[in-house]
Amino acid sequence: MEAVMDIKIIKTEKSRRPEVSLDNLPFGKVFTDHMLEVHYKDGQWQQPVIKPFQPITILPSNLTLHYGQSIFEGIKAYRTIDGDSYIFRPFDNFHRFNTSAARMMMPPLPEELFIEGMRRLVALDLNWIPQRPDHSLYIRPFMFATDETIGVKPSSTYSFMILLSPTGPYYAKPMRIFVEEKYSRAAPGGIGFAKAAGNYASSLLAFAEAQAKGYDQVLWTDAVEHKYVQEMGTMNVFFVIGNTAITPNLEGSILDGVTRSSVITLLQEQGLTVEERPLHINEIVAAYKAGTLREAFGTGTAATISPIKELAYDGLEMRMDTDKWTVSPEVKRRLDAIREGRSPDIYQWMFPIDA
Ligand code: COI
């Protein structure tokens, strides 16, 4: 056991890494040797510990199990062609994490605990970062209530943890998407902008029904009229119409995606006009019928940039030939080049692990 700064580090006695192949990994099934855990009580965060990946113990009366006071983030670490390792835009995720925490009445994380804890954890499990194209080390910070009571109230104690999971692409192929008009993901005044566990739980039924019809995901529409597109199950969404890329504006029910923000920057660099505004489904249908709908794609940490080859709305199957696309493949190429160290990181998105 060694103490480094204020983080206690307990190393595993035997790494599982030699038994694990990092090729063609499914998303979220394999975890590295270590995890970070820290508890909040008496109004303060306690001593963080990095220790071997292991079960946690909670009582059945744990508040999270009953009322879902739980938030999370998704971040990725990459290794460049020079062999250096970086985390992509962790400060943006840190700020979003605390935005989610405030909405869910949870305590904010100090920046040093979030960033330095993550950096040290990744540094310890560095040999788990895959090197294949479209592979990375997925970082999952999360916080959940730990009071042992079934009274409906904000917890007074919490756990914050970070897990690491080497992963390949979330969606390996272009997606078939169903425009959802029956169920809602988020309503004005709700928790749509927060990365709260419950947002994902409430999406599962719509997702399952779409999957049963042969689709990969749903495209959510607004909760009031079911006409304005919002985001997809695990991603923000972009439509390229003519020389303009349109993505729904962040009006409170949409997640402020870090990949979304990076893609907006790169699209503008590529000479496209980017509009963040309400987007009516009829505008997409009209563009499709007029032949001006060039591309549609999702963006997310897990999903990166995932093309939509088919969009189903009200009996109309809008099909697109993704092989002919130029805009989103170029965005992906440029983003990958920054992440792999083949292009200069002019926006300082890459946070070095050995800082
Ligand atoms: C991410 O893209 O990091 C997500 O959190 C989406 C999903 C895997 C829940």
Query: pLDDT by residue (tens digit) across 31-90?
Result: 999 999 999 999 999 999 999 999 999 999 999 999 999 999 999 999 999 999 999 999
Q: Which residues of 150-178 are buried (b: 16+ CB within 10 A; e: fewer)?
A: eeeeebeebbbbbbbbbbbbbbeebbbbb
Q: How far is the CA of 130 from the centre of ligand 1 (A)?
A: 18
Domains of the chain by residue range: 2-169, 175-339
Residues with CB under 6 A from ligand 1: 74, 200, 234, 300-303
Nearest CA to ligand 1 atom 8: 302
Confidence check: pLDDT of 133 > 90: no
d(CA 157, CA 63): 10
Give the atom of ligand 1 at the shortest distance from the alpha carbon of 28: 8
Q: What residue type is assigned to position 314 of the chain?
A: D
On the question of pLDDT at 3 being above 80, the answer is no
CATH of 175-339, one of 3.40.50.720, 2.60.120.260, 3.40.190.10, 3.20.10.10: 3.20.10.10
Residue 340: Cβ-neighbour burial (10 angstroms; 0-12, 13-18, 19+): middle
Per the prediction, the chain carries an average pLDDT of: 96
What local confidence, expressed as pLDDT, does residue 35 receive? 98
Q: Measured in angstroms, how far is the CA atom of residue 23 from the centroid of ligand 1? A: 20
What is the residue with the minimal CA distance to atom 7 of ligand 1? 234
CATH 3.30.470.10 fits 2-169, yes or no: yes
Give the H or E element holding residue 183: none
Mutate to test the pocket of ligand 1, among 234, 260, 263 (most ligand atoms within 8 A of CB): 234
Per-residue pLDDT reduced to its tens digit, 278-326: 999 999 999 999 999 999 999 999 999 999 999 999 999 999 999 999 9
Q: How far is the CA of 75 from the centre of ligand 1 (A)?
A: 9
What is the distance in A from the centroid of ligand 1 to the CA of 174? 18
Q: Which atom of ligand 1 is nearest to the CA of 195?
A: 5
**Paired strand residues for 217:** 177
Q: Is 251 exposed, middle or buried (0-12, 13-18, 19+ CB in 10 A)?
A: middle
**What is the DSSP-derived secondary structure letter of residue 278?**
-
Q: Tell which atom from ligand 1 comes closest to the C-alpha of 303.
A: 2
pLDDT in tens, 144-195: 999 999 999 999 999 999 999 999 888 889 999 999 999 999 999 999 999 9
Q: How far apart are CA 223 and CA 206, in angstroms?
A: 14
Percent of the chain with pLDDT over 70: 98
**Cα(343) to centroid(ligand 1), Å:** 26
Residues 291, 233, 74, 22, CA torsion sign? negative
CA distances for 276 relative to 31, 225, 234, angstroms: 36, 19, 19
List pLDDT tens digits, range 250-284.
988 999 999 999 999 999 999 999 999 999 999 99
Measured in Å, residue 200 CA sits from the centre of ligand 1 at 9
Q: How far apart are CA 331 and CA 49, in angstroms?
A: 38
Kindly give the number of the ligand 1 atom that is closest to the alpha carbon of 170.
8
Kindly give the number of the ligand 1 atom that is closest to the alpha carbon of 200: 9
User: Which residue's alpha carbon is at the smallest distance from atom 5 of ligand 1?
Assistant: 74
Answer yes or no: is pLDDT of 233 > 90.
no
Ligand 1: residue whose CA is nearest its atom 3: 74
CA distances (Å), origin 229, targets 49, 272, 311, 320: 42, 21, 12, 18
Residue 1 has pLDDT above 70, yes or no: no
Q: CA-CA distance, 267 to 263, in Å (whole number)? A: 6
Percent of the chain beyond pLDDT 90?
93
pLDDT of residue 172: 81
